[in-house]
Structure 1
């Protein structure tokens, strides 16, 4: 598959690396908000969800034992960025209505149309939003359901 045959939305997609269980929860369990301290760029419409090597062992979440081992160092899903909200970014008490996954004091990236890949696409992650290489985009396009 060449860059010209990759769907246009994937050609301009950005990837974001998340620790598990968060990437796995987005791909398979309906987590529809990504919490960040910053807003996404205005031109970001499609996100590739990359599961990093790390595991977030925060007190608010314990590892699920009924979902197998989440993949790491791989793109696991594609999602549309529906909108981003910074209503509660500077307050731990202001609620914005972005849903149960939205954390106070954060920017909320509302995800829609999440599609878990049939097979994860192995690749190294990076901090911030990053653009995957054309061969990675082609592999993601081939792995979409």
Structure 2
């Protein structure tokens, strides 16, 4: 990251992720997000959907990652940069323990958790944050530069 300019609305998208997977990303353990379609690289606001995937909490990989973490829902909880989007070749081992076969894998880097969640509405598909929402996020991460 440089210190030249803040991300603009044209450069940032939002991605909604169910808990507890968003907490796993914020913890730094889950660096792959699975999606049914290809996404472009760039900055994303990490938004938690309103529901929690309760069965996922029984997965040992998830359970040990989210232990003692609050599972905030319906809010932007952090930012990340998608640095790659790929599918694993057929019959190849998964690129990560978090990778689902056949899915597009968004490779996340520069993950930064917000000190205070910003409640907002999200969508499953890439969505554009409002200028006000982006301002609220950047106020909490003044060092963030693309």
Question: How far off its partner does 1:8 sit?
Answer: 2.4
Query: How many aligned residue pairs are there?
Result: 134
Between the aligned partners of 1:11 and 1:39, the Cα distance in structure 2 is: 18
TM (norm. structure 1) is 0.80
TM (norm. structure 2) is 0.79
Between the aligned partners of 1:142 and 1:46, the Cα distance in structure 2 is: 16
Question: How far off its partner does 1:20 sit?
Answer: 0.3
Gaps of 5+ in 1: 1-5
SS where residue 76 of structure 2 aligns?
Answer: strand
- RMSD between aligned alpha carbons? 2.3
State how 1:79-118 maps to structure 2 within 5 Å.
79-88=80-89, 91=90, 93-96=91-94, 98-118=95-115
Question: How far off its partner does 1:126 sit?
Answer: 1.5
**Is residue 79 of structure 2 the alignment partner of residue 78 of structure 1?**
yes
State how 1:1-145 maps to structure 2 within 5 Å.
7-8=6-7, 12-41=11-40, 44-58=41-55, 61=59, 64=63, 66-88=67-89, 91=90, 93-96=91-94, 98-144=95-141
